[in-house]
């Protein structure tokens, strides 16, 4: 929302006050598509790489359980002792867990590595979620410009974006237990200042180029 809003305001300023709304629309749509695909690609690679690292760590742990079961059991005992269990109880639990290879691997992955072998993240789910989230936010400043004409479309776009920033800021505040109005105003102020600055830079560059 903020990045596309700022970009469109910068182009609007660069075309001297938004006298070329078609360029603003083009910039907004291009940024929406490019940003969405970029976010999706980056998220896929990031989660995929992270998952591969986790899988390697789990495979290493599995190999250690096969090669040094007693040492791994002692390690599990120490983990449970650190959690406050008596030594006898810790050894009993560790022995029971180590008797089942699958449970032993899942337990060691969780206790030692902090991982859940059944939930290492989905690259595709993360990628699609990122794409949709970015596209949804980036569409807010674009839609008013697409369905209106003239320089007033830039003003309408700014109003729509400001309302969206206010709502998002309010929702974030509610989720974090903070003051709704303060959070909404903070988000609006931050996005508004960024867009205003970008518009000003675009305006100065536009005049310079002309």
pLDDT of residue 49: 94
**DSSP summary character for residue 137:** H
Q: What is the pLDDT along the chain (210 residues), one digit of tens a residue?
A: 999 999 999 988 888 655 677 888 889 999 999 999 999 999 999 999 999 998 998 899 889 888 888 888 888 888 888 888 888 898 898 889 888 888 888 888 888 888 877 788 889 999 999 999 999 999 999 998 888 766 788 888 889 999 999 999 999 999 988 888 999 999 999 999 999 999 999 888 877 665
Token readout for 121 is 């993240």
> How many residues are listed for the chain in this entry?
210
The residues, ordered by sequence, that sit 6+ positions from 56 with a Cβ below 8 Å of its Cβ are: none
pTM: 0.73
- The structure tokens listed for 54 are 């986790």
The set of residues, in sequence order, having a beta carbon less than 8 Å from that of 169 and lying 6+ positions away, is 183, 184, 185, 186, 187, 188
What SS3 class is residue 76?
A: helix
Q: Are 169 and 184 within 8 A, CB to CB?
A: yes
Provide the pLDDT for residue 45: 95
**Backbone torsions φ then ψ of 178, nearest 5 degrees:** -100, 175
pLDDT of the residue at 19? 61
């Amino acid at each position: 929302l903020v990045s596309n809003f700022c970009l469109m305001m910068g182009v609007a300023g660069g075309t001297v006050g938004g006298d070329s709304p078609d360029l603003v629309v083009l910039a907004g749509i291009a940024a929406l598509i490019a940003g969405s695909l970029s976010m999706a690609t980056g998220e896929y690679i990031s989660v995929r790489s992270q998952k591969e690292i986790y899988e390697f760590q789990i495979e290493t742990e599995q190999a250690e359980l096969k090669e040094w079961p007693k040492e791994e059991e002692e390690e599990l005992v120490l983990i449970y002792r650190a959690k406050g269990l008596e030594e006898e109880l810790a050894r009993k639990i560790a022995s029971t867990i180590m008797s089942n290879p699958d449970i032993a691997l899942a337990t060691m992955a969780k206790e030692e590595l902090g991982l859940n072998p059944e939930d290492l993240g989905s690259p595709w789910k993360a990628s699609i979620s990122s794409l949709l989230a970015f596209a949804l936010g980036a569409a807010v400043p674009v839609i008013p410009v697409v369905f209106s004409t003239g320089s007033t479309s830039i003003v309408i776009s700014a109003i729509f974006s400001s309302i969206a920033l206010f709502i998002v800021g309010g929702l974030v505040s509610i989720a974090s237990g903070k003051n709704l109005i303060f959070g909404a105003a903070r988000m609006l102020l931050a996005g508004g200042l960024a867009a205003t600055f970008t518009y000003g830079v675009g305006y100065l560059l536009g005049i310079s180029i002309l």
